[in-house]
Amino acid sequence: MTTGERMGARLHIVVPYRDRESHLQQFVPWVSAYFDRLAQPIDYRVTFVEQEAGLPFNRGALMNAGFLLGEGRSDYSCLHDVDYLPVDADYSPVDCPTPLLWYGAEQRPVAPGVSDRTVTSNLESTMGGVLLMPNATMRQVDGYSNSFWGWGYEDFDFSLRIRARRLPTSRRMGRFHPLDHINEGFTPDAAPSPISLVNRRTFQQLWSTGKIPVGDGLSTLSFDVLDRRPCEGEIVGDPSRWEIVRVRFNHRPRPEQEAAVAAHWSSRGA
């Protein structure tokens, strides 16, 4: 990307979302104020991709749907979880996959208010949390797998999609304020949850041949847009940059994934 292209590059921030109203209410004013204060302004838009109720959460498919919804109006994307608020992070254009998440994500609680157990992330290798991607590279790797329902392993798969193609990567050590929540990838005693174990087997099956899996990603995702609405709350700057899009996926989890999610919520008393 040339200097001129960098200056005019358009950023699309994709936030997968369902049932995190308290986090949404904090994310919108915080992030809009953060971008409003930048010394070098960035032309950005934010799309919360909200999955309708009825099926287990599918974070990878939501990332794909959000990317597709904004691809035509952007040059690079930020795949951004709703529970990380930037304190000091560089969202400027990139030429390769570039994670921003560093300080603030080292240790996270698994069940705040229920357990004092924590999990530690390997921030030197993770591609999760907050990731900048050139749109062309997102297309090159065919986005995320749509096969992971419930919780876990879509980021591992996405990282392998990048590294198996020997694509260059970078890393910016951003500082973030994390928002605590129950981590569905673990039980309160920090053991892997039932759905996490099922998704680990799914991940192993996808990569069992030693070849890059194909036919599962941006190119195969089918979804319907159910409605679009502006974000509510205190937005600093232009509110038209912010939108919530509710979607329905046209594929379903495997029976073992649905059963594992049901077992997980049963163990939580839900």
**Residues pairing with 162 in the sheet:** none
How much is the mean pLDDT over the chain? 89
pLDDT of residue 104: 76
**How far apart, in whole angstroms, are the C-alpha atoms of residue 77 and residue 131?**
8
pLDDT of residue 41: 96
Taking 80 as the threshold, does the pLDDT of residue 203 lie above it?
yes
In this prediction, residues 119-133 reach a mean pLDDT of 81
Instruction: Determine what percent of the chain is predicted with pLDDT higher than 70.
Output: 85
φ, ψ for residue 155, nearest 5 deg: -70, -40
Q: Apex CA 72: angle with CA 71 and CA 73, to 5°?
A: 95
Contacting residues for 81 by C-beta, under 8 A, at least 6 apart: 15, 16, 128, 129, 130
Taking 60 as the threshold, does the pLDDT of residue 5 lie above it?
no
In this prediction, residues 41-56 reach a mean pLDDT of 95
In this prediction, residues 25-51 reach a mean pLDDT of 97
In this prediction, residues 120-125 reach a mean pLDDT of 70
In this prediction, residues 257-268 reach a mean pLDDT of 72
Taking 90 as the threshold, does the pLDDT of residue 113 lie above it?
no
Domain 3-267: which topology?
Spore Coat Polysaccharide Biosynthesis Protein SpsA; Chain A (3.90.550)
Q: Which helix (H) or strand (E) holds 256?
A: helix 255-267
pLDDT of residue 194: 84
Taking 80 as the threshold, does the pLDDT of residue 170 lie above it?
yes
Chain segment 54-96, per-residue pLDDT in tens: 888 999 999 999 999 999 999 999 999 999 999 999 999 999 9
pLDDT of residue 90: 98
In this prediction, residues 28-42 reach a mean pLDDT of 97
